[in-house]
Amino acid sequence: MLIDLHLHEMKYSSDSKITLQEIIDRAKMLGLDGICITNHDNNFIRDEIEEYSRRNDFLIIAGAEILTKEGDVLTFVRERVHIPDNTIGVNELMDFIDEKKGVGISAHPFRNNNRGLGDNIRNVYNRLSGVEAFNGSTFLHHNLYGLAMAKEFGIPCTGGSDAHVIDKVGVFATYFEDNIRDEVDFIEALKSKRFYPAMLKNNKYEIIDMFE
């Protein structure tokens, strides 16, 4: 299954210019099997995705992009979350994620806006389920720094568009070997580490296996 793991919609991410329905329509047109809405600081969209998922016959997962004191972490837990910017350390966030039996992914770790974990990954690498080494809103060379860090510590890589505008949706995604039906399957699939980043090229997705 192909899922874009990092998207922002405008209702709960004030810097986004796209609605959830626009994201769904674009993702389905591209051939994606699902999307993750990871709004800043909260996953409040989770209260609405069941209706959208049913109406569109499409998998939608609610996560949150949490800005810790060390950098952003894509956070997936099975309950409502709201953690304002810079109010929590990364280890404290990982404690929360572990308590809730969720997963955390280092988002755009070396982006030049100082929102990535960067070298702080060295302190939490064994607690992360993935490193977003292919982020559609990050310069290629900064993505490659994240890839190098992931390879150094043997952490699986994910892909996500980090889209805030419609044209960015789906430029990167993550291919899962497992079938994912819901949030429970999704979290277990990330824990299994049976996934690879994928890139949209010539209107088709190509899987990127950087550990071959």
pLDDT in tens, 193-205: 999 999 999 999 9
List Cβ neighbours of 120 (8 Å cut-off, separation of 6 or more).
70, 71, 90
Structural domain tally of the chain? 1
DSSP line for 1-15:
-EEEEEE--TTT-TT
10 in a domain, yes or no? no
Q: Does a structural domain hold residue 113?
A: yes
Confidence of residue 168 (pLDDT cuts 50, 70, 90): very high
In a domain, 38, yes or no: no
By residue range, what is the domain housing residue 134?
Answer: 18-31+43-207
Each residue of 62-114: pLDDT tens digit? 999 999 999 999 999 999 999 999 999 999 999 999 999 999 999 999 998 88
Q: At 93, which amino acid appears?
A: L
Evaluate whether residue 82 is within a structural domain: yes
Percent of the chain with pLDDT over 90: 97
Amino acid at 9: E
Kindly report the CATH number assigned to the domain that includes residue 143: 3.20.20.140
